[in-house]
A and B are shown apart, each in its own frame.
Chain A
Amino acid sequence: MALPVLICDDSLLARKQVRKSLPESFDADILTAGNGVEALAILRSQEIGLVFLDLTMPELDGIGVLEAIKQEGLDCFVIVISADIQPEMQKRVTELGALAFVHKPVNPEKLVVILKQYGLI
């Protein structure tokens, strides 16, 4: 069965880069969101198995989304894909429950390693 996946990034290019970096063997139903507020609205209204989450976004940033997911007990895996690559930031998102931290720009090699590691492909 296809896994419901949410790609959240304010950049259209970045959303396309994630989509294009997913392996063909990964069976997913893909939804997209342009900021954290949109992402939370989707996460609260339907089952999402996996979220690809940008950090630096308008309205509500990725940290805000991670905090809400934790507080509200929303059940999903989160892979952060970020241009802000400071070790401090990586530590913060891991503490907030993110599964993995990927440095932008994303590419198939980076995602395949993580998806394999967590048995998603």
Chain B
Amino acid sequence: MSTVFSEEQRDCLQELINVAMGLASDKLARFLNTFVHLQVPAIELVSSAQIPAQFEARYSNTEAALVSQGFLGNDGLRGEAIVLYQLDNAHRIAALLGYDTDSASELEMLTDISSILTTTFLNGLADQIDNSLSYSAPRVLSSRQTNVSQALQETAFHWELALKVDISYQLIDHSFNCDMLLLIPGEAVSNIQHILDRILEEY
């Protein structure tokens, strides 16, 4: 990402994302009724073609689920947010939240959590750049799926770029890891740079 953004632009984007992530963590904590330990999310802008390979290792020995939600805003802002979950703890968290522990309920829980994370995060981001977004309904792309890279490949294929936001949530009693990916069109980079420069000019 260092080649795409200047150091000041990168710092600005990271801060906007930290604030948005703080809002999402707070919402998630209220939903899960626990405290969420918030880490600074690592962000990276990569070509979407690189995405399947980047996640292959992390998800190779675990069952995973992918949930997708499209977003659309003013000034051509659009994209698709993907949340990836490792399912090791899904049963326990489902039980904790009072969902049934069958597979349909597990999907319902993941859809609910994804929707909270994605919409709160993106609304927080949009607020800071004076934009507003609308969303499509979240949909589960795959679940209990061992070939994550293939599922990612089919989705990422439609987009040129991906803003990777590594989220690692540590709940008080159990770990809950997920990754968020924002798939965006290629022309978005100049838009993002423009927005960051506008914010930097204010300060």
| Chain A contacts to B: CB under 8 angstroms | 10-14, 16-17, 20, 56, 58, 82-86, 88-89, 103-105
Contact = CB atoms under 8 A, between A and B. Distances in A.
Contact of A86 (B18, B26, B39): B26
Interface residues of B, number: 23
A86 B25 contact: yes
8 contacts: A10-B40, A11-B14, A16-B203, A58-B40, A82-B22, A83-B21, A83-B23, A86-B26
Contacts of B38: 56, 83-84, 86
A88 B26 CA distance: 10
Give the dominant DSSP class at B's interface: helix
A68 to B, nearest CB: 20
Contacts of B22: 82-85, 103-104
B44 interface: no
B110 interface: no
B29 interface: yes
Contact of A13 (B15, B35, B36, B40): B15
Interface string B5-48: 00010011011001101110110010000011011100000000
Given A20-B203, A84-B22, A104-B22, A14 B40 contact: no
Nearest to A105: B19
B89 interface: no
B199 interface: yes
B4 interface: no
Contacts of B202: 20
A13 B12 contact: yes
Contacts of A83: 18-19, 21-23, 38
B128 interface: yes
B200 interface: yes
Interface in B162-203: 199-200, 202-203
Given A83-B19, A83-B21, A104-B22, A88 B35 contact: yes
